[in-house]
Structure 1
């Protein structure tokens, strides 16, 4: 039962990440009202021209990988740095969005914990 719940949550999580990544390229979702601080932050991201396309590509690839059960372990690791960034951003700059960030971060951590045995061979210290 837990596995089925995790699968459904990971598919939804993956779709949200793919949607977010595609939106960075095609701008099809309206931007919410932003404070002056948020406008400055977004301006900084726009100045560094490579950062948003890189985040978008990681979101798309990680979202696809985490939605597929066979590649979920890899997808959970690929998307983890983006999720940490999203969580910290909302914690520091936009506390109103911390709820959804926390839920998504929790799903990501659950996917990592559920696939922990797949990471163990990478951590073995063979001589």
Structure 2
């Protein structure tokens, strides 16, 4: 069972590094822009020109690398945790129409939740101060 967190960490790290690098290098299709005037278009119209999305993508790359390495996995989860929550929130509230049930969203959420559960003893130490 010790190998399962390592496999999950590599998969989650690979996903975040891939999607983070794709923002800069554009080697995969993103599925096109959201419909003009939609909540998603307005949301991305606000975060892309301000540079906020660039900042998040850099954190995705750094967090993905950290979570793939067993010794730094929990630090990577601390970086990626808010990003995973935001991915869920954006897909649920901004994009809507069942977007939260897309396989990448489910995969990333399940892998992050599993790694958080697998390292729960170390995270519980943060609460006991």
TM-score category (smaller protein): 0.7 to 0.9
| TM-score of the superposed pair, with normalisation by structure 2 | 0.82
DSSP-derived class of the 2:31 partner: coil
DSSP-derived class of the 2:48 partner: helix
Instruction: Determine if contact 1:77/1:112 at 8 Å carries over to the other structure.
Output: no
Where do 1:1-127 residues align within 5 Å?
1=1, 3-33=2-32, 34-36=34-36, 37=38, 38-49=40-51, 51-92=52-93, 93-94=95-96, 95-99=98-102, 100-125=104-129
Unpaired runs of 5+ in structure 2? none
DSSP-derived class of the 1:47 partner: coil
Count of matched residue pairs: 123
Distance in 2, matches of 1:67 and 1:21, equals 14
DSSP-derived class of the 1:31 partner: coil
DSSP-derived class of the 2:29 partner: coil
Q: Compare the two structures and name the one with the higher helix fraction.
A: 1
Q: Deviations over 1:16-56 (max 9, x none)?
A: 1011111222223223133232333221122322x111101
Divergent runs of 4+, >4 A: none
| TM-score of the superposed pair, with normalisation by structure 1 | 0.83
